[in-house]
Every structure is written in structure tokens, then in C-alpha cells.
Amino acid sequence: MPTAVSRSGLFARLVPLGVFGLLLAATGTFLVVAEDDWTGLILVVGGVLVAAMVGLVLALSVRTRVPTTKPPPGVAIRFRARRTFFTTATPLLVILVMAAVVGAWVLWGPPLGVGRAVLAVVAAVTWVFFVPPEGGRRTYAVTADELVIESADSRRSVRWDDVESVWHRPFVVVAGDGLQHRYDDRLELTTTGGTRPLVVVGAHRQARLSLMIVDLSREHVRRRLLATFAREGRVQLGELSVDHDGVQGPDGRRLPWEADWRVRSQVDEQGVSLVVRAPQGQTVAGRVPEEGVARELLTTLRDQFTSG
């Protein structure tokens, strides 16, 4: 069962910044109280902002193990769309906020300047949480049988057995025990009869939503691919072409089926690539849809063609 992983590598990078923010606040407090130097208030406000921002980022980033069991019959688990608050632009936002505090201090003096800076921060937070996200307000409902997407003027339902493939764009985390990845950034579902992929992104608790979609659709997708292979003698796994002779990559290189194959994954912002390595060192690599299905299919067919 897939689970979300802790962003342990994030702690090593952000905790020092949080400690630095607390030290700034402590230094500013000392200047204000002991030295009667009110310029220290800038350090207090800036340090508190940095420490609070780091604490909130860590609180939102750390994921515990999330159950992805099938919802009981008649039960719908709902997720609403929301604006993304912490993105790659967050460091710039922190710098801009601190610059606004300093600028307001210089222009209007301590009380009025800090007050206007606080109002600016409140306005930014209000914009994030109350202005409709890109694509409008929508709700995702997950049941045992289907995914339902509702907005103010439309409703679309996708049965799990109609899902043909799931592409995911996981967030990459470099941790002490190697490369880890999550399913919570972006999902694209291709469905039976669909003219274009269905994109699922930007939901509140997106990690759990994405994990549930992957888990509930996986077996249907795997069966569909195996049925296609049995019928046509070949199947396409993203950039990898699989047939009775082996696996071929997008560059034309091919590996015949061997029992001692090793399969590893490479993850970046574009998704997952599988690298298949033969005992002699030859490799074939290509981007694939949901990694679990791709690995299971390759393993099943490898065992089938090498067991004799």
C-alpha cells in the first residue's frame, strides 16, 4: 500500500532558518528592553515572521502514513480545491514581507508602519484562503466506485474501472536514506472515451486524495494493460514499449527478457522514469505513468517469459 513519506530532508534545510529567525527576534527584544533601542522592533517582527513561516511550512510539509483503504459503500470522502500558499516563490514572499516591514517603518514610523505591514500580511493570507483558486471552486468526492468532481456549474464522475492510466508528477525529496517521492503534486487521468486528460491538482489534503486515486484505480489499470498485452501482444507504458521480445525505450534501444533484470526509478518534477538494467550492464529508460502499475506489469511479464 502506498503511503506518503516524511519530508525529512526539508528539516535539515529549514530548521536552521527557523532558529535564525528566533535569534533575530530575541536580539530585537533585547535591544528594545535593555538598550531602549526601538529599531530592535524591526528584528523582532522580522524574526517572528521568519520563524512562523518556517514552522508553518514544516507543519504543512510533514506527512504521516496516510491510509488509502477503500471507502465503505455509500461513503464519499470529500476534498476541496484551494490556492497553493507555499510554493517555490515562498522565499521571495518572505523577503518581500520583511522589506515591506522595513519600508513601512521608515515611511510611517514604528506603530503605523508595523500596523500597515501586518495588514498587508493579513490581506495576502485572506487572498490565499478566500479568493477562488485557478479553475474555480471545486470539490473532489472519492467513493468506492468513482471519483466525482463538482463545481458551481458542472459535475463529472469517473468510475475507477474507466481509468486507463494515471500519470503523476511527484514532489522530489532528497533524504538521508536516498530518493523518496510523493504522489501529491499533480495527477493526470486518461479515461475511456475521454478526449483529454483529467487533471487533479491543488486540493486541500492533496496527498491523501492522490494516494486514494492511485490506490483505487491501480488494479483496474493493471488488468486493462494485461488484457491489452494478451490481445495485441504488446503494450505501451508511457515511453517504454513492451512486447514478447522484451522492452524498448524511446531511443530505440531494446532489452530482451531476463530473470536478473534490475528496475529502478528516477523522479523529477516531470514525473517518474523507470531504468531497466540487464546483468551485462545494458539499460533502457523511459518515462512511465504511475510507477506501481509499471513495475508490477514489468515484473509479471518478466516472470512469465523467463520462468521456463
d(CA 168, CA 188): 6
Q: What is the per-residue pLDDT for 179?
A: 47
Q: What per-residue confidence (pLDDT) applies to 193?
A: 84
CB half-sphere exposure, 174, CA atoms < 13 A: 3
* 218 φ, ψ (degrees, to nearest 5): -60, -50
Report the pLDDT value the prediction gives residue 248, as an integer from 0 to 100.
Answer: 94
At 287, which helix (H) or strand (E)? strand 283-288
**Contact call for residues 301 and 259 (beta carbons, < 8 A):** no
Sheet holding 283-288, edge to edge: 262-268, 271-277, 283-288
Q: Is the pTM of this model over 0.85?
A: no
**Residue type at 29?**
T
Would you state the cell numbers that stand for residue 218, as one nine-digit string? 491501480
DSSP letters spanning 185-231: S-EEEEETT-SSPEEE-SBTTHHHHHHHHHHHHHHHHHHHHHHHHHH
Predicted confidence at residue 210, as pLDDT, reads 86
Q: Report the SS3 class of residue 69.
A: coil
What is the rounded CA–CA span in Å between residue 189 and residue 160?
10
Q: Which residues of 142-166 are buried (b: 16+ CB within 10 A; e: fewer)?
A: bbeebbbbbeeeeeeebebebbbbb
The pLDDT of residue 243: 94
Rounded to whole angstroms, the Cα distance separating 199 from 173 reads 23
3-class DSSP state of 288: strand
| pLDDT, mean of each 10-residue run, the chain (308 residues) | 39 61 66 64 70 67 53 88 57 60 64 62 67 76 94 89 88 51 73 87 81 91 94 93 94 90 80 87 90 90 84
Q: Taking the mean position of all CA atoms in its chain, how far away is CA 127? A: 22
